[in-house]
C-alpha cells in the first residue's frame, strides 16, 4: 500500500510539472516578438593577468580599457593595452607602441637619456665602443655606440647603433644595419638569438618567440619598428632611424654622404629591477640614486666611461657590472621595486617635467 501511494504521488507530481511547463510555454508564445536592433559592435576588451608572484596583481583578471581593448591592435597607429604587473595600481592602461623619446627610460638622439627618476641627461661615451645601459643580477643590456668627430671638436658625437641583451644564459642582439643611403621602405633591423641570425618576416604584428618563451619580438610597423619583451623583466620599444639632414645641419655633425648613421631610438620599461641595478640608465632606477645631472642645466652630461665600458656587445665585464645569472635566488630578495614607470612626462628638449 505504501509503495503504491509513493508511486501515485510521483506520477501526480510529474503530471503537474508537465502542466506547469506547458502553461509557461503557451504564455511565452503569446508575447509579441520584438525585432532587436542590431547591437553596436563593441570591441572585446582583453583580460590580462600577472603570473609573477612578486606582482601585486598576481593572478587577478584585469580588463583592458575600452579606448584600447587589445594588446596587439591591428592598426599600427592604435594604442595598445598594457598592464604593468609591478605598478601598485594594478590596472591596465593605454600606451603607444612606439618609443616615446620624452618618456622615462628613453634613449634617443645623440644619446639623450631620461632616467627612471625622470631626469634628462647626456652620456656621450666613445664611438665604436660598448657601454652597459643596464646591469642587474638577471639582466644585462649593453649598447654599441657609433659616431664621428667633426673637425675641431673635442669629443665624439655618438648614437646607439646596437643593443645586446643577456638574460639567464641567453643572448639577444638588435642592430641598426649600416646603410649608405637611407630608405624608409627598406628594413634596417638585424637580430640574433644565441649567436644565430634571426629573421622575422616584415609586416605589422609579425612576431617571434624564443623556444623557452623567455623573449618575444614583435614588429610594430611593417619595417624598422619593434617591441622586445623579456619575460617578467623588461619591455623595449625601438625604432631604427637615420641621422636626419635637419639634425645634421643644426648640430653641424658633418655626416658623410656615404653613411646614413642608422641608429636606434629606444624606450625601456622595466618590471621589478633590483635596488642594486647598475648601468648608465639602470642606476637611475635605484631608490638611493642621486643624479649627478642637476635639473635646470642646459645639457647635463654625465660621465662614467670607465665604470660602464664593456669589452663587447655581449660582455658583462664593466667595472660596476653586477650581472650574475648563476646566482640562485633565495626568494627573500625583497629589494624595493621602483615605480617610476608611472611617471608622466611632458615637454621637450631640456624642458621635460615628470610627475608621478
Ligand atoms: C653569449 O655571448 C657570450 C659572449 O659573446 C658567449 O660567451 C656565450 O657563449 C653566448 N651564449 C650563447 C648561449 O650563445
Ligand atoms: C665612407 O667613406 C669613407 C672615406 O672615404 C670610408 O672610410 C668609409 O668606410 C665609407 N663608409 C661607407 C659606409 O662606405
Query: Is 195's C-beta closer than 6 angstroms to any atom of ligand 1?
Result: yes
pLDDT tens per residue, range 99-146: 999 999 999 999 999 999 888 999 999 999 999 999 999 999 999 999
Hunting for cell 631620461 — which residue is that? 114
Answer yes or no: do 241 and 213 share one domain: yes
Range in 21-25, 88-92, 240-244, 304-308 with the lowest mean pLDDT:
21-25
The residue to which cell 611632458 is assigned:
346
Residue 61: give the domain boundaries.
45-95
The pLDDT value recorded for residue 283 is 95
Instruction: Give the residue among 147, 101, 160 at the shortest CA–CA distance from 253.
Output: 147
State the total domains in the chain.
2
Please give the distance, rounded to the nearest whole angstrom, from the Cα atom of residue 238 to the centre of ligand 2: 26
Give the closest residue (by CA) to ligand 2 atom 7. Answer: 258
Query: Which ligand ends up closest to the CA of 130?
Result: 1
Residue 319 Cα to ligand 2 midpoint, Å, equals 33
Domain end point (choices 95, 130, 163): 95
Asked whether residue 134 falls in the same domain as residue 155, the answer is yes
CA distance linking residue 287 with residue 45, whole number of Å: 35
Say if 13 falls within a structural domain. Answer: no
- Are 81 and 229 in a shared domain? no
Q: Which of 60, 95, 130 corresponds to the end of one domain?
A: 95
236, 191 in Cβ contact below 8 A?
A: no
Last residue of a domain, one of 95, 112, 135: 95
Q: pLDDT, tens digit, for every residue of 83-97?
A: 887 777 888 989 888
> Is residue 337 assigned to a domain?
yes
Q: Let me know if residue 19 belongs to a domain.
A: no
Same domain, yes or no: 239 and 314: yes
Which helix H or strand E contains 346, and what residues bound it?
strand 344-346
211 and 348 housed in the same domain: yes
Q: Which ligand is nearest to the CA of 261?
A: 2
Give the pLDDT confidence score for residue 105 in this predicted structure: 95
85 is written with which cell numbers? 604587473
107 grid coordinates: 634613449
In the prediction, which pLDDT does 295 show? 65
Amino acid at each position: 500500500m505504501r509503495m503504491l501511494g509513493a508511486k501515485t504521488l510521483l506520477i501526480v507530481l510529474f503530471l503537474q510539472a508537465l502542466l506547469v511547463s506547458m502553461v509557461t510555454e503557451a504564455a511565452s508564445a503569446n508575447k509579441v516578438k520584438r525585432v532587436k536592433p542590431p547591437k553596436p559592435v563593441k570591441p572585446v576588451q582583453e583580460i590580462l593577468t600577472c603570473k609573477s608572484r612578486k606582482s601585486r596583481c598576481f593572478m587577478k583578471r584585469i580588463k583592458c580599457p575600452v579606448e584600447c581593448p587589445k594588446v596587439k591592435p591591428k592598426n599600427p597607429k592604435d594604442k595598445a593595452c598594457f598592464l604593468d604587473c609591478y605598478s601598485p595600481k594594478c590596472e591596465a592602461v593605454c600606451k603607444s607602441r612606439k618609443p616615446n623619446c620624452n618618456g622615462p627610460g628613453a634613449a634617443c638622439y645623440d644619446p639623450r637619456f631620461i632616467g627612471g627618476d625622470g631626469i634628462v641627461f647626456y652620456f656621450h661615451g666613445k664611438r665604436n665602443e660598448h657601454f652597459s645601459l643596464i646591469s642587474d643580477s638577471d639582466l644585462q643590456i649593453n649598447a654599441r655606440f657609433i659616431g664621428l668627430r667633426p673637425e675641431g671638436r673635442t669629443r665624439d658625437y655618438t648614437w646607439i647603433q646596437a643593443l645586446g641583451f643577456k638574460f639567464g644564459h641567453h643572448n639577444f642582439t638588435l642592430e641598426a644595419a649600416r646603410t649608405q643611403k637611407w630608405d624608409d621602405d627598406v628594413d634596417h633591423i638585424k637580430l640574433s638569438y644565441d649567436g644565430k641570425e634571426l629573421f622575422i618576416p616584415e609586416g605589422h604584428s609579425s612576431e617571434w618567440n624564443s623556444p623557452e618563451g623567455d623573449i618575444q619580438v614583435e614588429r610594430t610597423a611593417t619595417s624598422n619598428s619593434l617591441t622586445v619583451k623579456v619575460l617578467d623583466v623588461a619591455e623595449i620599444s625601438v625604432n631604427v632611424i637615420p641621422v636626419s639632414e635637419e639634425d645634421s645641419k643644426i648640430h653641424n655633425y658633418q655626416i658623410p654622404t656615404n653613411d646614413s648613421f642608422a641608429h636606434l631610438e629606444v624606450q625601456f620599461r622595466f618590471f621589478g629591477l633590483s635596488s642594486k641595478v647598475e648601468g648608465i640608465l639602470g642606476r637611475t632606477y635605484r631608490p638611493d640614486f642621486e643624479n649627478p645631472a642637476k635639473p635646470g642645466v642646459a645639457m647635463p652630461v654625465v660621465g662614467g666611461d670607465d665604470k660602464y665600458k664593456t669589452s663587447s656587445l655581449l660582455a658583462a665585464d664593466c667595472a660596476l657590472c653586477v650581472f650574475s645569472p648563476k646566482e640562485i635566488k633565495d626568494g627573500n630578495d625583497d629589494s624595493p621595486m621602483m615605480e617610476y614607470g608611472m611617471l608622466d612626462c611632458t615637454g621637450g628638449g631640456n624642458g621635460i617635467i615628470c610627475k608621478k
